[in-house]
């Protein structure tokens, strides 16, 4: 029996363990996790009786089959109604995000904004954008960019200038200007687990046919020979599937890959709800240290006279977001090109790509299928050698497609 090692027991590791068990049951699978539990940041925590995760982990996808798969394992609740709003300090006001066309008339600079939007449309500046700032000013003009995007993005990515961001296929989180319903993802599937413990049952179900080693740290990596050292001994495998950063498993030979992380705080308030109806997230685009506040009971449907808010502050203390800078992506691809046959790198960290749960499950499905068919095309499933490949939601946005179109037979290209 062939042996595969999955490095990392977060959502990515669990997803690929499940797909391997479903598609390739003749493989012996080991999942190794340095922490004391499976699920990583997607695992449900509790405070004051309130369930929450490390950052909101709602499931978004344009592909009904991915939703149907997850819903068959852990029942999901569709939450198409959820809205985002952004606080703009100079206006002392809240507006929908993505920026909504109906909000422009409420802004003090309405006339200037409309003129800049018309000029941007005429010049088609976004089409020739070389960086994130040019993309946004070329889409909506300088005033809206300054109000909603500039400060928030520099704060999120911990960068001095948005001109440094020259890979922006992951952005925006929706259209630049939205019309019609204020629900953020009315054109995609938005969902969250029904169970109070969120995704936790998925992790157990996904790994029930695997050997799971918790509290286990890999001390040495030898990818050329597909072996790792843990618990003081070298162990060889026929395949290694890594969900951690590629520089780590390749011993940093091309230098360390940069990430941005988050510090996370929770606060419980003595009120049933803090946010307006259907508002799940509030973004902060100014000089506040935090980027986003989430009211978790909107996702979890937890019943209580109090409410729990999660506050996210950008930090360098952990690795959550790969930097969207082409030179760093190219460095990641140096690592991928060095990986020998039988070494796979997947998930957000492993792909060094800003992808979400649906993309991760899609990667796991594609990888298991390729293994079943006798060969793996590239160390990074789905995205392969295309350094600027779009994730699933970005493909949907770029193509102008809705989930209703896909259900009717339209394919994502």
The yes-or-no verdict on residue 172 having pLDDT over 50 is no
The yes-or-no verdict on residue 396 having pLDDT over 60 is yes
The answer to whether residues 139 and 171 touch, using CB atoms and an 8 Å cutoff, is no
Distances (CA, A) of 233 to 31, 217, 228: 16, 12, 8
Rounded Cα distance between 84 and 366, Å, is 32
Q: What is the pLDDT of residues 211-266, one digit of tens each?
A: 999 999 999 999 999 999 999 999 999 999 999 999 999 999 999 999 999 999 99
The yes-or-no verdict on residue 169 having pLDDT over 70 is no
Confidence of residue 385 (pLDDT cuts 50, 70, 90): confident
> Mean pLDDT score of the chain, rounded to an integer?
93
**What percent of the chain has a predicted confidence (pLDDT) above 70?**
98
The yes-or-no verdict on residue 161 having pLDDT over 60 is yes
Q: Which residues contact 131 (CB under 8 A, 6 or more apart)?
A: 162, 163, 164, 165, 166, 168
Q: Which residues contact 265 (CB under 8 A, 6 or more apart)?
A: 310, 311, 313
Q: Which residues contact 288 (CB under 8 A, 6 or more apart)?
A: none
The yes-or-no verdict on residue 313 having pLDDT over 90 is yes
The yes-or-no verdict on residue 45 having pLDDT over 80 is yes
Q: What integer is the mean pLDDT of 17-36?
A: 97
DSSP assigned state of 239: E
pLDDT value at residue 390: 82
The yes-or-no verdict on residue 94 having pLDDT over 80 is yes
Confidence of residue 173 (pLDDT cuts 50, 70, 90): very low
Rounded Cα distance between 281 and 309, Å, is 10
Q: What is the pLDDT of residues 3-14, one digit of tens each?
A: 999 999 999 999
The yes-or-no verdict on residue 34 having pLDDT over 70 is yes
Instruction: CATH 3.40.50.720 in the chain: give the residue spans.
Output: 3-43+197-256+323-391
pTM, whole model, 2 decimals? 0.95
Domain 3-43+197-256+323-391 fold: Rossmann fold (3.40.50)
Q: What is the pLDDT of residues 97-133, one digit of tens each?
A: 999 999 999 999 999 999 999 998 887 777 788 999 9
Q: Which residues contact 239 (CB under 8 A, 6 or more apart)?
A: 2, 3, 4, 5, 27, 226, 342, 343, 344, 371
Q: Which residues contact 314 (CB under 8 A, 6 or more apart)?
A: 155, 156, 157, 158, 260, 261, 262, 263, 291
Rounded Cα distance between 211 and 278, Å, is 41
Task: Give the chain's length.
Answer: 413
For 383, phi and psi rounded to 5 degrees? Answer: -85, -30
pLDDT value at residue 88: 98
pLDDT value at residue 293: 98
Crossing angle (nearest 10°) for helices 392-399 and 357-373: 110
pLDDT value at residue 175: 60
Distances (CA, A) of 173 to 98, 253, 338: 7, 34, 33
Rounded Cα distance between 364 and 387, Å, is 19
DSSP assigned state of 384: T
DSSP β-ladder status, 28-32 and 211-213: parallel
Confidence of residue 408 (pLDDT cuts 50, 70, 90): confident
Q: What is the pLDDT of residues 272-299, one digit of tens each?
A: 999 999 999 999 999 999 999 999 999 9
């Amino acid at each position: 029996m062939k042996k595969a090692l999955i490095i990392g027991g977060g959502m990515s590791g669990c997803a690929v363990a499940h797909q391997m068990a479903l598609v390739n049951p003749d493989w012996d699978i080991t999942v190794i996790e340095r922490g004391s539990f499976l699920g990583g940041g997607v695992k449900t925590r509790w405070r004051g009786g309130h369930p929450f995760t490390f950052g909101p982990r709602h499931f978004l996808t344009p592909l009904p089959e991915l939703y149907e798969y997850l819903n068959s394992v852990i029942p999901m609740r569709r939450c198409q109604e959820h809205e985002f709003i952004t606080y703009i300090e100079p206006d002392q006001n809240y507006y929908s995000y993505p920026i909504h066309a109906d909000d422009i008339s409420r802004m003090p600079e309405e006339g200037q904004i409309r003129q800049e939007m018309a000029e941007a449309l005429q010049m088609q500046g976004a089409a020739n954008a070389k960086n994130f700032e040019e993309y946004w000013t070329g889409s909506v003009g300088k005033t809206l960019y300054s109000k909603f995007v500039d400060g928030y993005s520099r704060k999120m990515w911990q960068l001095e200038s948005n001109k440094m961001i020259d890979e922006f296929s992951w952005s925006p989180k929706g259209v630049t200007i939205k019309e019609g319903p204020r629900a953020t993802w009315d054109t995609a599937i938005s969902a969250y687990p029904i169970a109070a413990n969120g995704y936790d049952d998925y992790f157990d179900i996904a790994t029930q046919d695997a050997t799971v080693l918790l509290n286990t740290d890999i001390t040495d990596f030898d990818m050329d020979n597909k072996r790792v050292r843990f618990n003081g001994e070298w162990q060889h495998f026929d395949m290694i599937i890594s969900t951690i950063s590629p520089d780590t498993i390749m011993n940093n030979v091309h230098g360390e890959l940069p990430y941005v992380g988050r510090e996370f705080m929770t606060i419980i308030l003595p009120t049933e709800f803090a946010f307006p109806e259907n508002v799940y997230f509030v973004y902060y685009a100014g000089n506040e240290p935090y980027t986003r506040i989430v009211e978790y009971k909107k996702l979890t449907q937890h019943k209580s006279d109090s409410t729990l808010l999660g506050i996210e502050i950008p930090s360098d203390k952990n690795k959550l977001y790969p930097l969207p800078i082409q030179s760093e992506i190219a460095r990641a691809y140096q690592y991928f090109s060095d990986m020998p046959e039988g070494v796979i790198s997947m998930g957000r960290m492993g792909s060094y790509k800003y992808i979400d749960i649906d993309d991760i499950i899609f990667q796991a499905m594609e990888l298991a299928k390729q293994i079943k068919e006798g060969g793996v095309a590239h160390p990074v499933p789905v995205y392969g050698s295309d350094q600027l490949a779009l994730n699933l939601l970005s493909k949907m946005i770029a193509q102008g497609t809705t989930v209703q179109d896909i259900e009717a037979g339209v394919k994502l290209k």
